[in-house]
Chains A and B, each alone.
Chain A
Amino acid sequence: METSTPAVVLDRLTKTYRSGAGKVRALRDVTYAFSRGSFTAVMGASGSGKSTLLQCAAGLDRPSSGRVLLGDTDLGTLNPVRLTRLRRARMGFVFQAYNLLPALSAYENVALPLRLAGAKPQRKEIGDVLHRVGLGDMGRRRPAELSGGQQQRVAVARALATRPEVLFADEPTGALDTGTSRQILGLLQDAKGHAGQTVVMVTHDPMAAAYADVVVFLEDGQIAGTLRGASAGEIAAAMSELEN
């Protein structure tokens, strides 16, 4: 794996939705490269296009124009089945809530992507990942028997179990209290240390964004600026400046 090529490249990405009120341009000509092994936070007000950016970057939504490259692979050239295989081999996902299949235990949720890929997950491997997120003894519990923070940790463990190149997180702390949020963000920060994983996180919370190496600000579907190694205070200041 060469470190010179970026993990994800967005190349003049435009996304236009047709809605009742007419055309909505969620992304306008966005070009950005997420470098390998980085932790990037994408920030912006609601409606700034940050979720659309994540969905296009992860191949969940097709851009109206422009390209998305994962390593050397152009996502736009793949059919749905190949896109699915690519997603389960090379990407991990964590969302705000409802990340887990309610019928499966924590252990089974973590092992699911591997099993879907036809691999036979090693007990120890899954156990290790659960241990890493601090849930070594909770593998047998169902999502309904776990707290919100524990459920998010299971989701992170699942995203880590396949050792994806890129981990996409959409408001992963949106439904959590401050203390639990810190644990989850610590785990995401930790992920980039392991095997050079790249983390792309969408958030509106400056405290969460402060865990990232780079913060990208979006406004009206365009990149309005970036900050490196900024504190929560600096990020919050930049945000309120954008909004005025």
Chain B
Amino acid sequence: MLQISRRTVRQNWALYVGCFVAVAVGVVLLGLAANAIAAGNAYANHHPGGFVFTVTGGDMAEHTERYIPEEQSPEGLQALLGLVSGICGFMTIFVVASTFAFVVAARRRELGLLRLVGATPRQVRRMILGEALTVAVAAAFAGSLLAYALTPPMLELAAGTEFSPMKLDPPSQWIPLSIASGIGVTVALLGAWVSSRRAAKVAPIDALRESATEPPRLTVSRVIFGVLGLCGAATMIAFIKPDNFEVAVTMAILVPIVFVIGMVALAPVFVPVIARLWGLVLRRSAGVPGYLADRNVWASPRRTGSLAAPILAICAIAGTLSVMMSFVGDLTYAQGLQASRPSAAVD
């Protein structure tokens, strides 16, 4: 089945571009985070820093602990990248899920044909998962290469900022990038899981049904997700007044994610409209190809929507990040104000 999966992906690659981008971006960020952690650990092993103190009394036996003050630790960078890749992983699942929902819905007839010539439901499911695997492995590879190239400049940039006070050396990247790739592939398979189950339910007789046209623009679940997402984001912004850093950070992460889930669910409705407006410009300047692109975008709203999904997801991540950065900036400023107070003494 894997061979069929590979062929299908190669022939209809345009359908899977969104998926590829989402997984690749996810792996890049995960890879950077994993590399930062590895670099930080390597640094900590060579430069213990801080000071060791002995704990006596209490419930535990006498032991030593090491205290590392914040200005000697690259934890800020690790936490930031970890957070971003967590969000990204979540987004990737969502983008992959929406792509494969479309891939399965648009290929009812072909899946029916497979069942007809003797594929069992399980084989059909494996084929869909195989497509996800094919895309994800290629994307993980591309993402790893990019992360490999980006790690030294990232560490360079972070050095001396509040994220990482010291200059970290790029670590051996094999293990961190393998872990990042593994997670990327797993996430993609999780995203395709529901659709693969739906694909397995296609009946052989569907191969004979006449309509092989695009499925409807909106399904009930899309409307539910869309309305919940948009209303949820709006409610959070309107009613929650963050009064401490934790709540603010949680909101900064949640609001863009929830908002984008709503947007992706409703993408088949509004993306073609936006694309249409752009298409009006394109038609003037790009002649017949522009005209055809315009008509295609309009005729297959779900494909258009699934292509736009990763871009929406990337926007959400960028949004989360910029909000986070401004919070961190404010916090640093606030801490600066507090610096005049005497700090706790350690024996």
Enumerate chain A interface residues (CB-CB to B < 8 A). 51, 55, 60-61, 80-81, 84-85, 87-89, 93, 95, 98-104, 108, 112-113, 116-117, 142, 158, 162, 170
Contact, CB under 8 Å: A116 / B11 = no
Contact A103 B7, beta carbon cutoff 8 Å: yes
B295 at the A interface (CB under 8 A): no
CB interface residues, B 76-123, toward A, < 8 Å: 109-110, 113-121, 123
Q: Which of chain A's residues have a CB closer than 8 A to the CB of B10?
A: 103
Whether the pair B117, A113 counts as a contact (CB closer than 8 A) is: yes
Given A103-B7, A103-B8, answer yes or no on A60-B116 (Cβ-Cβ < 8 Å).
yes
A-B contact pairs, 17 of them (CB 8 A): A60-B116, A60-B204, A84-B120, A85-B120, A87-B118, A87-B204, A98-B109, A101-B110, A101-B114, A102-B11, A103-B8, A104-B4, A104-B7, A113-B117, A116-B114, A117-B118, A170-B208
Q: What distance in Å separates the Cβ of A139 from its nearest Cβ neighbour in chain B?
A: 15
Cβ-defined contact, B117 with A116, below 8 A? yes
- Of chain A, the residue at the smallest CB distance from B116 is A93
Give min CB distance, B289 to chain A, whole Å: 21
Q: Specify which of A51, A103, A108 lies most central, judged by the most chain B CB atoms within 10 Å of its CB.
A: A103
Interface of B is mostly: helix
Report yes or no: B115 in contact with A95, Cβ–Cβ below 8 A. no
A87 and B110 contacting across the interface, CB-CB below 8 Å: no
CB distance from A189 to the nearest CB of B (A): 22
Instruction: Fill in one digit per residue for B1-34: 1 if any A CB lies within 8 Å of its CB, else 0.
Output: 0001001101110000000000000000000000
Residues on A with beta carbons closer than 8 Å to the beta carbon of B11: 102-103, 142
Pairwise interchain contact A101-B118, C-beta atoms closer than 8 A:
no
A98 engages B212 (CB within 8 Å): yes
B3 closest partner in A (C-beta)? A108
The reply to whether the CB of B277 lies closer than 8 angstroms to some CB of chain A is no
Instruction: Verify if B273 is at the interface (C-beta below 8 Å from A).
Output: no
B8 and A116 contact, CB distance less than 8 A: no
Q: Taking the complex as formed, is B137 at the interface, i.e. its CB lies under 8 A from any CB of chain A?
A: no
Bound form: Cα–Cα A90–B121 in Å? 18
Pair B118/A55 contact, Cβ less than 8 Å: no
| Contact residue among A60, A99, A113, A142 (Cβ-Cβ distance under 8 Å from B118) | A113
Contact A84 B118 (CB under 8 A): yes
Shortest C-beta distance, A193 to chain B (Å), equals 23
A237 to chain B: closest CB distance in Å? 30
> Is B194's CB within 8 Å of the partner chain A?
no
Query: Which residue of chain A lies nearest to B122 when distances are taken between CB atoms in the complex?
Result: A81
Q: How far is the CA of A215 from the CA of B329 in the complex (A)?
A: 84
* B207 close to chain A: CB less than 8 A: yes
Q: What is the bound-complex CA distance between A158 and B116, given in angstroms?
A: 12
Q: How many angstroms from the CA of A99 to the CA of B118 in the assembled complex?
A: 13
Partner among A55, A108, A117 whose Cβ is within 8 Å of the Cβ of B205 = A55
Query: What residues of chain B lie closer than 8 Å to A103, measured between beta carbons?
Result: 4, 7-8, 10-12
Q: In the bound complex, do residue A98 and residue B123 qualify as a contact, i.e. CB atoms below 8 Å apart?
A: no
Interface centre among A93, A95, A108 (most CB of B within 10 A): A93
* Contact A101 B113, CB 8 Å, known A60-B205, A170-B208: yes
Residue of B nearest to A109 (CB): B117
A82 to chain B: closest residue by CB: B120
A29 to chain B, nearest CB (A): 22
Inter-chain contacts of A170 with B (CB < 8 A): 208
- Give 19 new A-B contacts, CB below 8 A, not counting A55-B208, A101-B114: A55-B205, A80-B121, A81-B120, A84-B204, A89-B118, A98-B113, A101-B4, A101-B113, A102-B11, A103-B7, A103-B10, A103-B12, A104-B4, A104-B7, A113-B117, A116-B117, A116-B119, A116-B123, A162-B118
Closest Cβ neighbor of A93 among chain B residues: B116
Q: How far is the CA of A61 from the CA of B8 in the complex (A)?
A: 28
Distance (whole angstroms) from the CB of A158 to the closest CB of chain B:
7
With a cutoff of 8 Å between Cβ atoms, the chain B residues found around residue A60 in the complex are 116, 203-205, 208
Per-residue CB contact flags for chain B residues 120-152 toward chain A (1 = under 8 Å, else 0) read: 110100000000000000000000000000000
Q: What is the bound-complex CA distance between A158 and B117, given in angstroms?
A: 9
Min CB gap B2→A, angstroms: 12
